[in-house]
Chains A and B, each alone.
Chain A
């Protein structure tokens, strides 16, 4: 058994960076909304993307899972019942690099051209956020396959995606999600 958050975080990264569902094993809808390996990459050494010492080479299309809060599910939740239902708030940060001097640092996807997208950081960041939301919101990608404990139930965006220019050619998009999950009441989830 490991910490509840470690399990949930691993699932979020599996969807965003490890190609969960791209082989079609989780169904056609999951396949359509899955994210191919190489589109995004996990933040280096789990470092916050806002850190000014974060390496530029690892910045473009990096994603970071930022846990914000946790609460009981707002529905009736008797502490003696199992499973227990909880709702975590988690921010997904996705980064893009921009500026004409750093085209070599881009991680391009599909038909993207460095010369074009280098000047479109806001469009690119928002588009990436939407792509991530589409995948995280897919129930088959989130909870399909072998059941997890704790089990993620739904990942719903709360409010909008916000953009933040960090300066020096770094743009960060942040989207807050409500992640509902269930716990087995007999488990302590000690790390």
Chain B
């Protein structure tokens, strides 16, 4: 039996409708953006300058849940700041509906390729995070299910 792409896309559309409804009901308090910074040369080189910043704001807002923490130089934020500890929080973002006729995103859109002159980060803003939002880096992409993808991110340099 051959793959049934049409059925898969229809299921993704149904899932997308449900996730839009959740956002519409106000239960998705965290805004998630995928930010791609392009530099004129390798990042951190003293002569490199930021040339472009592309921001993809995920819509509908996905669910964001804590998924652990670890010690790290780039820790901080609401999860640690009051205690003065450097704890880098990890979060799971998703499920996010995979691309379909009515919307959704491809894995490539959600995890664009990094490079020595391209810095990718995930910007999370909402009550869980510091007032101005916090930056995270991608540690895992789970796109093994047919309708959805889940990202795992960890707090990084702000």
Chain A interfacial positions (CB closer than 8 Å to B)? 17-18, 37-38, 41-45, 47-48, 51-58, 60-62, 104-107
Interface flag for B41 (CB, 8 Å) = yes
Instruction: Give the secondary structure class of B's interface.
Output: loop
Residue among B44, B46, B72, B114 making CB contact with A56, cutoff 8 Å: B114
CA distance A60 to B41 in the complex (A): 13
Contact with A along B28-71 (1 / 0, CB 8 A): 00000000000001111111000000000000000000000010
Verify A37–B46 contact, CB threshold 8 A.
Answer: yes
Verify B115–A57 contact, CB threshold 8 A.
Answer: yes
- A-B residue pairs in contact (CB < 8 Å), sample of 30: A17-B45, A37-B45, A37-B46, A38-B45, A41-B42, A41-B43, A41-B44, A41-B46, A42-B44, A44-B43, A44-B157, A45-B73, A45-B157, A47-B74, A51-B72, A53-B88, A53-B156, A55-B119, A55-B137, A55-B157, A56-B114, A57-B43, A57-B114, A57-B116, A58-B43, A61-B42, A62-B44, A104-B116, A105-B114, A105-B115
Chain B interfacial positions (CB closer than 8 Å to A)? 41-47, 70, 72-75, 88, 113-116, 118-120, 137, 154-157
Within 8 Å CB of B114, what residues of A?
56-57, 104-105
CA distance A106 to B75 in the complex (A): 26
Least CB separation from B118: chain A residue:
A57
Verify A48–B73 contact, CB threshold 8 A.
Answer: yes
CA distance A106 to B115 in the complex (A): 8
Verify B157–A47 contact, CB threshold 8 A.
Answer: yes
Q: Which of B115, B118, B120 has the most CB of A within 10 A?
A: B115
Verify B116–A106 contact, CB threshold 8 A.
Answer: yes
Given known pairs A57-B43, A107-B116, the reply for A51 and B73 (CB within 8 Å) is yes
Verify A105–B44 contact, CB threshold 8 A.
Answer: no
Using a Cβ cutoff of 8 Å, how many contacts connect chains A and B? Answer: 72
What 3 A-B pairs have minimum CB-CB distances, sorted nearest first? A53-B72, A41-B44, A104-B115
Residue among A42, A52, A60 making CB contact with B116, cutoff 8 Å: A60
Instruction: Give the secondary structure class of A's interface.
Output: loop
Verify B47–A37 contact, CB threshold 8 A.
Answer: yes
Verify A54–B41 contact, CB threshold 8 A.
Answer: no
Within 8 Å CB of B44, what residues of A?
41-44, 58, 62
Within 8 Å CB of A53, what residues of B?
70, 72-75, 88, 154-156
Q: Which of B45, B74, B113, B116 has the most CB of A within 10 A?
A: B116
CA distance A47 to B137 in the complex (A): 16
Least CB separation from A105: chain B residue:
B116
Within 8 Å CB of A42, what residues of B?
44, 46
Verify B115–A41 contact, CB threshold 8 A.
Answer: no
CA distance A37 to B74 in the complex (A): 26
Residue among B42, B88, B113, B156 making CB contact with A38, cutoff 8 Å: B42
CA distance A106 to B43 in the complex (A): 11
| A178 CB to nearest B CB, Å | 27
Within 8 Å CB of B43, what residues of A?
41, 44, 57-58
Least CB separation from B139: chain A residue:
A53
Least CB separation from B113: chain A residue:
A104
| A20 CB to nearest B CB, Å | 11
CA distance A43 to B119 in the complex (A): 15
Within 8 Å CB of A51, what residues of B?
72-74
| B40 CB to nearest A CB, Å | 11
